[in-house]
Amino acid sequence: MKHLMLSVAAGAMTLGLASTGTIDSASAQDKTEVRWATSSTGSSGYRALTSLANMLNNQMDTLDITVMPTPGAAASVRGFAGGQFDGYYGADVAFHEIANNGGRYEGFADQEHEQQMTQSFWAYTLEVGLGVLAEDTDELQSWQDLNGKPVFTSPAPWDTRAALERAMRAAGVEHEYVELDTGLAAQSLEDGTIEAMIIYTAGETSPSPWIQEAMMSADMDALNPSSEELDMLDEAGIGTVEVPPGVFDDQIGDPAILVPFFYGFHVGTNFSEDEVYEMLVTIEENAEELAESDPSFSQVRDDMVEMQLRGIRSAGETIPIHPGLAKFLRENDAWNADWDGRIASMD
């Protein structure tokens, strides 16, 4: 079985090498170089892939990891399909858009792609919601209070925006989307350019770094959906979770009601069944270390198998399941035979 060699590209960050530190020429032809794309620096995805890459580099043979930041997860998906990357950062919300040939991916299914996407590793949920200035909470008490108002729901290509916008539409919110650099969000909230902005966590445990910075810059509180809006979300099949203020370092007063969706670091049929299986086993064996490095992986630490099952269920019949993930679940007596027809062909 080929080993995986992940090498750091220019513009990406250099991560620690495996214990050997070098790759001998005799075995070089057995290595596979992997350029793994994720979201932009400062995002949850970039932070999480850096932790994952460090762990794999230390625990598997001769790993030299490439973490490739892109403008957003959608760019990583398109780049992977076009052969620019060997791994990508993909969410269930994106997979449904791709399967429906709509949203940010309208026309994507009609294009020829160099690589077949698969589901191969579900890493965590991201939970999205809304934040407003604490001084505005008397005026803004529900999501529909944002009707007609300017709101920043993440940069346009991001899955977090797609997930939050979907939930807001289901709750009957008709806001004005404002495009911003993430570093300007807090100032824009304070000067009234926007009335609300996205807040989100990874694994219900850790806000994205840029969200943490925004909350340190502006006195914010969560804007939660009303009971009526929660019913509307439920009718649309959109679940919610309550994230306590402590997760946001008590920078909000009440628990935040957020909408979860599933994220993974995936590869395609460019990886063999055994390569993906070995990677998943390594992740499970070192999940405690991963969660210590990045709390986003706490769900994998608590139950790696269940996290994969939840991700597959959320994706539905959208993107094929990698045979290596199927093997991992079979080895753990967790495979659903109804999914046999959804396994990707390696031909």
Give the model confidence (pLDDT) of 251-281 as tens digits. 888 899 999 999 999 999 999 999 999 999 9
Query: Can you give the CATH number for the domain in which 303 is found?
Result: 3.40.190.10
The residue-averaged pLDDT of 61-65 equals 71
- Look over the chain and give the mean of its residue pLDDT values, rounded to a whole number: 89
- Its domain, for residue 294, covers 3-124+264-342
Q: Both 82 and 207 in a single domain?
A: no
3, pLDDT greater than 70: no
CA distances from 287 to 118, 170, 262 (A): 22, 35, 18
pLDDT > 70: percent of the chain: 90
pLDDT digits (tens, 9 = 90+) for 140-190: 999 999 999 999 999 988 999 999 999 999 999 999 999 999 999 999 999
Q: Both 129 and 109 in a single domain?
A: no
Q: Both 61 and 20 in a single domain?
A: yes
Q: Both 198 and 317 in a single domain?
A: no
Q: Both 85 and 172 in a single domain?
A: no
What local confidence, expressed as pLDDT, does residue 29 receive? 45
What local confidence, expressed as pLDDT, does residue 66 receive? 85
Tokens 């077949």 belong to 116
Long-range contacts of residues 22-27, Cβ cutoff 8 Å, at least 24 apart:
23/62, 23/64, 27/3, 27/62
pLDDT digits (tens, 9 = 90+) for 191-206: 999 999 999 998 998 8
Number of domains, the chain = 2
The span from the CA of 22 to the CA of 213, in Å, is 38
What local confidence, expressed as pLDDT, does residue 60 receive? 84
The DSSP bridge pattern shows strands 66-69 and 35-38 to be parallel
Task: Using the 3D structure, point to which of 211, 231, 260 is the last residue of a domain.
Answer: 260
What local confidence, expressed as pLDDT, does residue 30 receive? 57
**Residue 80 belongs to a domain:** yes
Q: Both 255 and 141 in a single domain?
A: yes
Q: Both 66 and 119 in a single domain?
A: yes
- At 347, is the pLDDT very low, low, confident or very high (cuts 50, 70, 90)? confident
The residue-averaged pLDDT of 45-67 equals 87
Q: Both 252 and 268 in a single domain?
A: no
The residue-averaged pLDDT of 96-114 equals 93
Whether 27 and 61 have beta carbons less than 8 Å apart is answered as no
Q: Both 129 and 110 in a single domain?
A: no
**Residue 17 belongs to a domain:** yes
283, pLDDT greater than 50: yes
Instruction: Of 59-63, 132-136, 284-288, give the lowest mean pLDDT range.
Output: 59-63
Q: Both 74 and 131 in a single domain?
A: no
**Residue 347 belongs to a domain:** no
What local confidence, expressed as pLDDT, does residue 113 receive? 94
The span from the CA of 23 to the CA of 31, in Å, is 9
The residue-averaged pLDDT of 226-232 equals 97
The span from the CA of 128 to the CA of 233, in Å, is 13
Q: Both 268 and 245 in a single domain?
A: no
What local confidence, expressed as pLDDT, does residue 253 receive? 87
239 CB neighbour count, 10 Å cutoff: 13
List, in order, residues 6 or more apart from 269 with CB less than 8 Å away: 115, 116, 118, 322, 344, 345, 346
What local confidence, expressed as pLDDT, does residue 31 receive? 55
* Angle value at C-alpha 154, between 152 and 155, nearest 5 degrees: 110
What local confidence, expressed as pLDDT, does residue 176 receive? 98
**Residue 301 belongs to a domain:** yes
* Length of the chain measured in residues: 347
Task: Using the 3D structure, point to which of 195, 228, 260 is the last residue of a domain.
Answer: 260
Q: Both 200 and 237 in a single domain?
A: yes
- At 62, is the pLDDT very low, low, confident or very high (cuts 50, 70, 90)? low
